[in-house]
Structure formats: C-alpha cells, structure tokens
Structure 1
C-alpha cells in the first residue's frame, strides 16, 4: 500500500471535451463541481443526524465512533445503507442531480439511461489510532464480466462528500485497463480462473464482484485517485477498481455510490410496479418521505424510470395494485412485518403463524414482501 502510486488529475464540470478525453484515455474521470458546498453540507448533515444512518453518533466525539452499535463492521468495505432510504432525502437528491445526470449521459453517449437503484453511502472512519477499522486493502475487482459482457456496458460513480486524500482513503483503479479488458477475458477462459478456492464463472460481475487474482500483474498498477469534496469519480465498469483504506488521524472519507444503466422497457415497467407498490404502502401507512414518493424533481423521476407528469391518484394506484380493502391490507402488511421480526428473533414457528394469517386475510400479500421489507 505504501508503494501505491497516486493521481490527482481532474476536469471541471462543463468541460465536456476534457471529460470525454480523460474518460476514454484513463477509463475514469474526476469531475469537479458536481455538488455545491451547500449541497455537500446538507448531505453530511443528514448522514450525521438521521438515525437510519449515523444520527445516533456524534461526528465531533471520537469516543462514539467505536460504539458497538456503529452500523458497519470493523474492516469490511466501507459500505453503509440506510435502514429505510425511502424516508431519507440526501440519497434521492444526489441521484437526482442534473450535473451528475449530464455527465453520465455524456459518458454513456446516450440520454436514455436510468439509475440502477437509490444508491448507498461509503464511510471510512479515521484509523490511525484504531487500525482495526481499516477497510480491506486488496480487493481489486470488476462489476462486469469479461466473458459475458466484454464490451462497454455501464458507468459507475461515487460522489465525494469529503476530500478524498491519500490518507483519508478512497477510490483506486488501474488506469487505462478498460482497453485491455476483453483481451484479459480471452487470456483467462471461463472455467480456468480460481480465486479464494472458488471457480469464477459467468455469475460474477454485476451484483457479485468479479475478483482479480492477487498474483495478477495488474495488481502492481493499482493507483490511488484523490478527489475534492463536491466532485464525482466516474469510471467505466471494465476498469478494475477497489478502495484503499483510511490511515488518517482525524479525517473521515464519505462518498455516495451511484450506478446508471441503459433504459429498457422491461426494467422500467418493473421499476414502476415496485415504486407504485411502495407509494401505496407509504400512503396508506401515512409514512411518506421528504422526497419519495410525492416530492421528486423532474430529474429524479426520470433517473428512476418514473416519467409521468401526472402520477396516479392513490385511489387509482390502490385499484392498479389490487387493494380493495385498505384496512385489511394494512393489517396483512403489519403481520408480515411481525413475521419478519419473529424470524430474526429465532421464533420460526411464530413467524410462520403470522405469515399464514397475513395470507389468509390478503392472499396477494406475498407479492408485496419486497416493498414491505425493502
């Protein structure tokens, strides 16, 4: 890690030619000025005040950062997910950022793209006095499969909410490797690659990171990428990448992850069904969020595949979703939540009884499990 090279090259937002040149040359680009200082501050404030994130800890009191209830494992890979992102604001605002969308469309060379989801946070605590908090230092991987997806498919990004420095921890990659990705796959035929005792196959890539072998020569070319707060680090999914750990005494490293994909009608139709179910559930429970479902910007609706200028009234959505008796539906959803709680507590029989009762009063409730727990 001490011998890892570093790069701090960036391009300002608005320089589309420079952004494209850097992206095509290196496979990634740091674009500055995506978020304003006020937007950065608002996102960090929500992170540290929202009890679904880090609101139960004090950003100014290091003694709280090691509390047993800290929602990240020691070590690990820095990811932090809200316990209910639908009640949050910052994640939706970041995903709905018009500058971020413009750069993503530029690099996809298409306006027809959409977010794969609401995204998640990345948080690294300062580790100089607590080295056990360091994230993994060697997990170079792809989120794309060189055998099934050898060509350009998608762009990944992180939006930096703190300065990403050499000591704060941050993004690392092998610049320029996107041009060698297809050849690497040809040189390592499927079925011949074993990492950590497992044969890597076509199931690795998007959703299950495709690991780069520790003895692969490209491991020596991993480069740390520094980036200021408010910038976005955007890379071609063919680029092998990882994080490098925090070694700082005081500084946190905070980012928000995003990923776009090309729009397709099947994905959009599925997304609309899921979001419509979630909207119905939140409305009838009286628990709508500050952004979803009723206060998304036009850009926010677009990037999540919700392009309607006039969304359905609740009564229409209830009918679309097959909910005729709202009180029965609410009772069934409550039973499903209770079943989930009992299962977590180890009471499997109790969970089964609650689950069976929910089906008895609302037979279609199983179709709602994803939005009830998601």
Structure 2
C-alpha cells in the first residue's frame, strides 16, 4: 500500500494515520519491507498520538510487546482513553495530518499576537537572557498536592515511610501517563498560554508524558542524580527551536533533585558547536563547569526551558523526594531536524 493512502485510512475510530503506525510496527516485528517513510513521518507518529491524548511511549510499547491486530489496537486505544476520541479531537487530528501531507511546516518561534499572556515582561526577559522561565502557580497548590498523592498511590509508597522509597526497581521514572488529574494539569489554560507566548502561536497540542519520583540519596542508593547534563534534541545545524517543561508537584529546594541547566547557553550554542574539535561528539563533553544553576520552586510551579540548554536533574540531598509531572506543548507543524547528532 502507498504510504499516503495508508495514512488516510481512518479505521473504526475515524483517525488518520493510526493504521500506518500499526502497520509499521508489524512490518518491523516481522522484518518485512515497508513503504518508504515520507518526510517528517516519525514526527507525525508522535503528533497524532499526542493529539488524541495518548502520547507515543505507551502505544509503541503495546504494539511491539502485544503484536495486536489493528482492531485490537483501536480497542486498546479506547480502553486507555476511557472512550473513543471525541469528534472534535478526531477532526483536529485529521486536519493536522492533511496539513502535514500538504507540506505545511513552519519555523518557530512565530510572532503571532497571543491573547491573555501570563508571562510578564520580566519573565520574558528572563527567558531571552537565561533560556528558562518559571511560571508561578501554573496550577493551584491544591491541585499539585492532589496530583502528588496520585503519584504516591500509583507507586504504592507513603511520604512518612522513607524505607519504602528504595524498594522500587526503578528509582526515577514512574510510568504513569493517564489519570484525570494529570489530564487536568495538561489542560491548564495558564500553562497553555505560557507555551503560546514562547512558541509565538496558540495552535498547540500537548505532549502526553510521564511523572518522576526522585528520592534523596541514601547509603547504598545514589540513583537520584545528578543526571548527566544533556540535550533531548538533535545538535545538527541548523538547530530547531524547541521547549520542554516540568511541573513541580511538591515544594522543591535547590538541593532536592531540582531541575538544573546551563543558563544562557542557548545564546552561544551555535558558536560552541562550531568551535568543537573535529571528531568530538558534543554529547560527550562534560558541561558541569559551564555555569549550572539549580531551580528551586514551589508545588504548582512550572519550569520551562529552551531545548538548547544542557539540562538534567540534580542530586537530591534533602529529606523528601522531588515529585514532578513533565508537561510540554508544541505546534504540530514545527520542523524537526531529520539529522541526529
């Protein structure tokens, strides 16, 4: 089947591209040839799955581990979402796919007028200078604390029983994606407007990501960090503009595994990459002495950063875990560098 026609196969849910995603997984598992990928198609996979409210991680895990039929895949989607995608979500997703097939991609940040901005001129000055900004009270403290409790419950842990915290096989990520409170946080209009200001457009979709649980260092357990300072996007030139966000669900001190980054590096990364000796992988360079800052903030605050900043989590030497939800929004027609460096 031609890739374009397969992309437009709606299936029972009426959503473009889902059958193509399913077919690619089956072909990979069976080592069968696949129609050539169209430009930016891997990005389209993520966009479609984010648009319907799933994100990419869980569907790909299910497809490759369960090897379902397409009907089973659609039924699994309904089960995960709790209902079939609503008609407006289907229409939005299919419109995105139509625009993608027509080659309608844009360079960002754009310069559209944003209604009801939530970031002050001082916030925007911090963003321009440092490459990060803290949106205070992105959600209410009460909602943050309620979401924190959801994470504790999901992990089967208690804040007043620290011996439990180290019995998990995985001590940072928690594979919790779907919950009404997580979805409510993702739907925050205040958060959406902050991302809109930074992208320069209100035409955004939400990346469905997971949560993290970063416990304090303990004798025999030092899994809290610091994580190596890194980038989550391609360092091939020209660099594409991109942003990420982390929502603190509890009060986080600077020494509590807080988000950390090299402030202002977005303004010099192009020159830094150009000056690297031939053959040096930029991802292998130790950035610890480049001016790292740790960002303390309160429950309900959202830290947003420019992807060009080397970043990671700090070592938690406080008394309580850092608990956070990763929230990012992006325009579906953004360009993504096809070359990975």
Distance 1:131 1:28, change over 3 A: farther
Q: 1:213 aligns with which of 285, 306, 311?
A: 285
Q: Distance in 2 between matches of 1:24 and 1:149?
A: 19
Please tell me whether the aligned partners of residues 147 and 185 of structure 1 are also in contact (alpha carbons under 8 angstroms): no
Give the Cα–Cα distance (whole angstroms) in 1 for the partners of residues 157 and 213 of structure 2. Answer: 13
TM-score between both structures, scaled by the size of structure 2: 0.59
TM-score (ref. length: structure 1): 0.54
Distance in structure 1 (CA, Å) of the matches to 2:151 and 2:145: 10
Cα displacement (A) at 1:63: 2.5
* Rounded Cα–Cα distance in structure 1 between residues aligned with 2:312 and 2:157: 27
Say yes or no: does 1:95 pair with 2:165. Answer: no
**Superposition pairs of residues 134-283 of structure 1, within 5 angstroms:** 134-137=223-226, 139-151=228-240, 153-188=241-276, 192-194=279-281, 211-214=283-286, 219-248=289-318, 250-264=319-333
Cα distance in 2 for partners of 1:40, 1:101 equals 17
Any conservation in 1 of the 2:261–2:312 contact (CA below 8 Å)?
yes
Distance 2:221 2:200 in 1: 42
**Whole-angstrom CA distance in 1 between matches of 2:325 and 2:270:** 29
- Shift in alpha-carbon separation, 1:91–1:149, aligned structure 2, 3 A: farther
CA distance in 2, matches of 1:212, 1:171: 20
C-alpha distance in 2 between matches for 1:219 and 1:18: 27
Q: Distance in 2 between matches of 1:213 and 1:265?
A: 28
Contact 1:154-1:262 within 8 A present in 2 as well: no
The answer to whether structure 1 residue 72 and structure 2 residue 170 are counterparts is yes
- How far apart in 2 are the matches of 1:71 and 1:258? 24
Deviation by residue 1:97-120 (Cα, 9 ceiling, x = unmatched): 1111110001111112222x3111
2 CA distance for matches of 1:167 and 1:89? Answer: 31
Which structure 1 residue ranges, 5 or more long, are not aligned? 1-12, 195-199, 201-210, 268-374
Once the two structures are TM-superposed, the CA of residue 15 in structure 1 deviates from its matched residue by 4.3
Indicate if the aligned counterparts of 1:30 and 1:233 stay in contact, CA closer than 8 A.
yes
| Native 8 Å contact 1:146 1:182 kept in 2 | no
- Helix, strand or coil at the partner of 2:260: strand
- Asked which structure has the greater CA Rg, the reply is 1
Q: Provide the secondary structure at the position in 2 that maps to 1:65.
A: helix
Query: Within 5 A, what are the aligned runs for 1:54-133?
Result: 54=155, 56-67=156-167, 70-73=168-171, 78-82=172-176, 85-86=177-178, 88-115=179-206, 117-127=207-217, 129-130=218-219, 132-133=221-222
- Following superposition, the deviation at residue 265 of structure 1 comes to 9.8
Separation in 1, partners of 2:267, 2:335:
30
In the aligned structure 1, how far is the partner of 2:125 from the partner of 2:162? 42
Indicate how the Cα distance of structure 1 residues 32 and 122 shifts in structure 2: closer, same or farther if over 3 A, else same.
same
Query: Post-superposition shift, 1:94?
Result: 1.7
Q: Secondary structure at the match of 2:163?
A: helix
CA offset digits 1:284-322 (Å, max 9, x no partner): xxxxxxxxxxxxxxxxxxxxxxxxxxxxxxxxxxxxxxx
Q: What is the aligned-residue RMSD (CA, Å)?
A: 2.5
Distance 2:300 2:311 in 1: 21
Matched positions, count: 220
Provide runs of 4+ in structure 1 moved above 3 Å: none
Provide, for residues 169-201 of structure 1, a one-character-per-residue CA deviation record: whole Å limited to 9, x for no partner: 111111111011122222237x7124xxxxx7x
**How far off its partner does 1:244 sit?**
0.7
Q: CA deviation at 1:238?
A: 0.8
Contact 2:132 2:306 in 1 (8 A): yes
Corresponding residue for residue 87 of structure 2: none
SS at match of 2:170: coil
**How far apart in 1 are the matches of 2:259 and 2:335?**
33
